Amino acid sequence: MDDKDLDLLRIVEENGRLSAEELAVMTTLSARDVEARLHALEEARVIRKYTAVINWEKTGSGEVSAIIELKVSPERDFGYDRIAERLSRFNQVKSLRLITGTYDLQLMVTGKTMQEVSRFVSEHVAPTDRIRETATHIIMKSYKENGNILFDQQEAERLPYSF
């Protein structure tokens, strides 16, 4: 991992759709070198996926997301890993993190309706062994996702010319 790799990672994290040629001019590498490096980073699972940041609210899909916090009794020898891995298998779980504070695990869960989310939590999450307590927070509006501001911002005016 060198500076050029870091450059590539920063660029594709922000925009994963640039061509190898475009990445090459920015990083002063050859297109072939860019492809080889990206391939190596993908193989090493440093790059996990190329994806899009979508403001689903604008599609009118009415999808519901919730942040769910769990208090978990850790298992001898395994800590939180086994239960976290088990919960991760659900497609409804979009992210899952071990956190400090009052709760132990924090999940982001998505469903088509409020009922679907609540059924998922009450049927699949809450009854799981070793989960002692859950707190469900329905997301009412998202302002920023993955470093991207989702609301419309006023463009600052700049002079057309300045020295």
Partner 1 sequence: MRDFVSHRAQVIPPSGIRKFFDLVLTMQDVISLGVGEPDFSTPWNICESSIYSIEQGVTSYTSNKGLQSLREALSRYLGEHYHLTYNCDNEIIITSGVSEGLDITIRAIVNPGDEVIIAQPSYVSYAPCVTLAGGVPVPVECREIDTFKLNPDALQEKITPRTKALIINFPNNPTGAVMRKEDLGAIADIVTDHDLLLISDEVYAELTYEGKHVATATVKDLWERTITLNGFSKAYAMTGWRVGYVCAPEKLCEAALKIHQYVMLCAPVMGQVAALEALRSAEDEKNRMVNEYRLRRNMFVSGLNRIGLSCHVPEGAFYAFPSVAETGLSEIDFSERLLKEQRVAVVPGSAFGVGGADHLRCAYAVSRKQLTESLGRMETFISGL
CB of 15 to partner 1, least distance (A): 8
Does the protein bind partner 1 through residue 146 (CB under 8 A)?
A: no
Does the protein bind partner 1 through residue 147 (CB under 8 A)?
A: no
Residues 28-47 that bind partner 1 (CB under 8 A): 28
Answer for the pair 53, 148: CB distance below 8 angstroms, yes or no: yes
Does the protein bind partner 1 through residue 1 (CB under 8 A)?
A: no
Q: Which of 17, 44, 143, 161 binds partner 1 (CB under 8 A)?
A: 161
What is the DSSP track for 8-55?
HHHHHHH-TT--HHHHHHHHT--HHHHHHHHHHHHHTTSS--------
Residues 2-31 that bind partner 1 (CB under 8 A): 7, 10-11, 22, 25-28
Half-sphere exposure of 90 (CA within 13 A, CB side): 21
Q: How would you class 83 by CB atoms within 10 Å of its CB: exposed for 0-12, middle for 13-18, buried for 19 or more?
A: buried
Instruction: Please tell me the count of residues contacting partner 1 according to CB under 8 A.
Output: 15
Binding site for partner 1 (CB under 8 A): 7, 10-11, 22, 25-28, 156, 158-163
